[in-house]
Structure 1
């Protein structure tokens, strides 16, 4: 394993970071004095996706052999001389050279038996698991538990036929090492003080690769623990980090995000195993009814509610320029982005005032933000800023290919949207206010800071935003930037979008500071964000702004946090003095 792989191994605890492999749905975690093997499925909790409830390895003297080492390519049980590794994306191989044994507790085995070397977890991605043992000299089945003893050799089990037939544990070890070796060879070079966490974040991106059935492309999911699909917004941030080491994989994320627009140009919220999520009608009936009850105050509540994500498609596409050499692909991708931009103005301006709104919190990416405590639809300054930036990028693209009329149209619309955005400023409160169904929302949140992204705010407003960022009662928490101002009644240091720090928000704010003429402050926020992830122990979904630690309910090994750490680390390393 490379130096980057060795650095990443320091973080692999089998709890916040499971043992897995690029392209695999299989996850191995600690449990009950041994390990548990689960499967990553769309919209299913891990405790519903059990392949092996517990796996325990025993040394020759009959004592449990604890895990002694975890590496990207293998788990070691030194006392028994045994290792566990992947044998392709759908199989696991367990083997050793001395006498040892293994005990597997398999759900439903008592009812199904070991029929022809199989058991049936009946999961969408694993209707059947097959297994084969080599060198076993004893096999005992009691209820749901299987115990096998070996004099060398070992056991392989896997989804479908992946566990059947002859196998070689040494060959599986070598192949797994090769997979991870190839991945870590792509890990970007960064400053020494950032190298350990960058290697771990690069591991997270590799670990979160899955194949979506029938898509023909690899998705880097937000997390194999809870988020098994390609969310549009996540794909953009993930591509921004991947471009530094694997630009083709970065392109695949955008290809998937752009592959299923509706006839009117709307991009779906999620691309997943069973299809797409583009409206409330794509949800289970119970979820659909809940969404409609919380639906728009203007749109027909009985009609499907479009579900998408904020318009950062051009932002993401521009980041791949210079990394991917495929002009025809860029032509098609920019056309998709242009159609999606038209959708926002034609179909999400629900009150017809020229400023598109979020028709549902899901489409904002900030589902639990207090701005959505208001009546829907919500006009929000972050959406205005994204639309301005996207129109300006479309104008730049159109001009570069000689489409001056289109460039002028996009630029004029950006100017109009900027004018409408400036009307959202509340001079008394000193921030941009959202409004719900036309009524101003009192909540002061990070969406009020994101208009910095335009780089076009009057300096007076920029100065007021900087004051908010410097105020300990607002956004200058010990670990900034909180997603809700600390003095706001809705502030919580733990509850998702109601106070915790998110790496993507910080990254966008840093970009906005630079665009608004404050590059030193932008660099300082980048460095602070990098320190936050290091202090918190990894690229978690979100962080407590008072302690800098993972918030209690945040997912670990989170895709966009990992990708943006890589992106910011590369940026910070380039900015550092030689």
Structure 2
């Protein structure tokens, strides 16, 4: 880890995060800002003599939203100064000969503290380079709210001080954990702050997006996992994530898949034509373009809300509005009713996923067959959600509602147990009479009910340690290693995802396997340490970031924080 330099003794939290800020896996950015400063594609950040600047936008790649293809600071001899250090509040060029910082969320400030004359060379996307002089002790401002206009400035030191104060305040909220986990926890907390954006039309609400690199929006179950991590240091921001996720239910109670810059994504009507064609190829009974497919995410809302409210109740600084919490529970109850009323196409009492997006497991081999699909993970989530709702309504004195949710959870559990295949020794998804034999992590998630017969629980726990099933050194692969569909690099077909590991840690504890839960939690935090950060997903054989995974990923950061707190 890089030690603080002279004059930075008060910047210890900023210096702790500095080694992770490589401008590749972690961009230079600011909470609430869409501006990203990154290394050139394929280049390292430290030592780079040219950077690029992008604006994070919904469903647009970095290449599409690049503003400056190249940005360099040039010395008096015409040589570009290399990046020599990155801190949360500034990028240093040439050992501090020039620095770059934020001037609020919509602008960057570049200046020199010394007596040298420098130049800023900036190449807008698709245009010729602009060369702007920076005199001794002077600075320039790049204003992205005004078409990336470059203008002289005299407030560079003030901008840097305010940016440092903002990040210092944010990092001060980082939970204290075990010494060996503290530095990574601080970086994961930085990731959560770095991924804050404001969504148009939502007032001052702060959405912690999955990643400003590729996932700019509030996905429903991402919001749940992110809130679970945020609750340890910022319960108010955790509640904001749930508030945004609950803000746009449909008339029949369905919660949208995504809240984004242009509205919400709640139906296949909002999807491009090739996605509907995929549904048709899968033989979906709901792929008719005249019958839109609802798009949502797994029902983990009550699971997340209960954890966030528990943290809020124990935080003297938190101000959880009881009326807001009651409204949130009622929104969840309506969403739960939607699953049973609108997502049970065959009327057997077990709701189904009508689209892979609604499962969150977009590329899982369980969706290689027909749709809609009843799956053991969905059954487990519904059991858990009805039980949390029953607990809430019982505490609120509504015995009738508590009984209704308890009865439905019991009935769903009975139907979930019918998905057990004794010959295969696993829970099996099915579409109508067709059973899906792919052995995936969804078969393990009934552990979340904490109420399986002992023989079934023992079998699932054994599978977690069996190297031919889910016993890899780095946690739980999303497909069993001996399954023909296993691929260590392909999204939901083998890589380890922190949300699956974290749910299974919870499930093991609920099922009475506390030591196994702790062991899986330890392997999960070890994976992030070994892999170099909270990536989207990891190769289960090497423990490294999978090639196509996004970096600085929100729920991975949040769940690392949550597991680190548990282990500490």
Q: Match of 2:458?
A: 463
Matches within 5 A, 1:55-94: 55-79=71-95, 81-94=97-110
8 Å Cα contact 2:139-2:153 kept in structure 1: no
Q: Alpha carbons of 1:291 and 1:442: their partners in 2 closer, same or farther (altered >3 Å)?
A: closer
User: Structure 2 residue aligned with 1:219, among 195, 207, 225?
Assistant: 207
Q: Match of 1:157?
A: 142
Q: Match of 2:366?
A: 371
Q: Match of 2:171?
A: 184
User: Structure 2 residue aligned with 1:202, among 164, 189, 193?
Assistant: 189
Which residues of structure 1 form unaligned runs of 5+? 110-142, 574-578
Q: Match of 2:297?
A: 309
8 Å Cα contact 1:385-1:454 kept in structure 2: yes
2:217 aligned with 1:232: no
2:559 aligned with 1:550: no
What is the CA–CA distance in structure 2 between the aligned matches of 1:538 and 1:160, rounded to whole Å? 32
What is the CA–CA distance in structure 2 between the aligned matches of 1:299 and 1:85, rounded to whole Å? 49
What is the CA–CA distance in structure 1 between the aligned matches of 2:261 and 2:280, rounded to whole Å? 24
8 Å Cα contact 2:119-2:131 kept in structure 1: no
User: Structure 2 residue aligned with 1:320, among 308, 312, 320?
Assistant: 308
TM-score by length of 2: 0.92
C-alpha distance after superposition, 1:30-88 (max 9, x if no partner): 12731100110000000011111101112233222100100000000135610000000
What is the CA–CA distance in structure 2 between the aligned matches of 1:245 and 1:291, rounded to whole Å? 42
SS at match of 2:476: coil
Q: Match of 2:52?
A: 36
8 Å Cα contact 1:60-1:80 kept in structure 2: no
**Following TM superposition, by how much is the alpha carbon of 1:366 offset from its aligned partner in structure 2, in angstroms?**
0.4
Q: Match of 1:21?
A: 30
Matches within 5 A, 1:429-468: 429-468=424-463
Q: Match of 1:257?
A: 245
Q: Match of 1:115?
A: none
2:16 aligned with 1:7: yes
2:324 aligned with 1:355: no
SS at match of 1:27: strand
Q: Match of 2:255?
A: 267
Q: Match of 1:416?
A: 411
8 Å Cα contact 1:107-1:144 kept in structure 2: no
What is the CA–CA distance in structure 1 between the aligned matches of 2:274 and 2:369, rounded to whole Å? 23
2:382 aligned with 1:394: no
TM-score by length of 1: 0.91
User: Structure 2 residue aligned with 1:102, among 120, 136, 139?
Assistant: 120
SS at match of 2:120: strand
C-alpha distance after superposition, 1:232-268 (max 9, x if no partner): 0000000000011111111110000000000000000
Shifted more, 438-447 versus 297-306: the winner is: 297-306
User: Structure 1 residue aligned with 2:421, among 402, 412, 426?
Assistant: 426
What is the CA–CA distance in structure 1 between the aligned matches of 2:62 and 2:453, rounded to whole Å? 49
Q: Match of 1:125?
A: none
What is the CA–CA distance in structure 2 between the aligned matches of 1:526 and 1:303, rounded to whole Å? 43
Q: Alpha carbons of 1:104 and 1:470: their partners in 2 closer, same or farther (altered >3 Å)?
A: same
**Following TM superposition, by how much is the alpha carbon of 1:292 offset from its aligned partner in structure 2, in angstroms?**
5.6
Which residues of structure 2 form unaligned runs of 5+? 1-9, 44-48, 313-319
2:519 aligned with 1:527: no
User: Structure 2 residue aligned with 1:479, among 464, 474, 479?
Assistant: 474
Shifted more, 220-229 versus 52-61: the winner is: 52-61
CA RMSD of aligned residues (A): 1.6
Q: Match of 1:132?
A: none
**Following TM superposition, by how much is the alpha carbon of 1:287 offset from its aligned partner in structure 2, in angstroms?**
4.3
Q: Match of 1:516?
A: 511
SS at match of 1:549: coil
**Following TM superposition, by how much is the alpha carbon of 1:108 offset from its aligned partner in structure 2, in angstroms?**
4.0
Equivalent pairs, count: 540
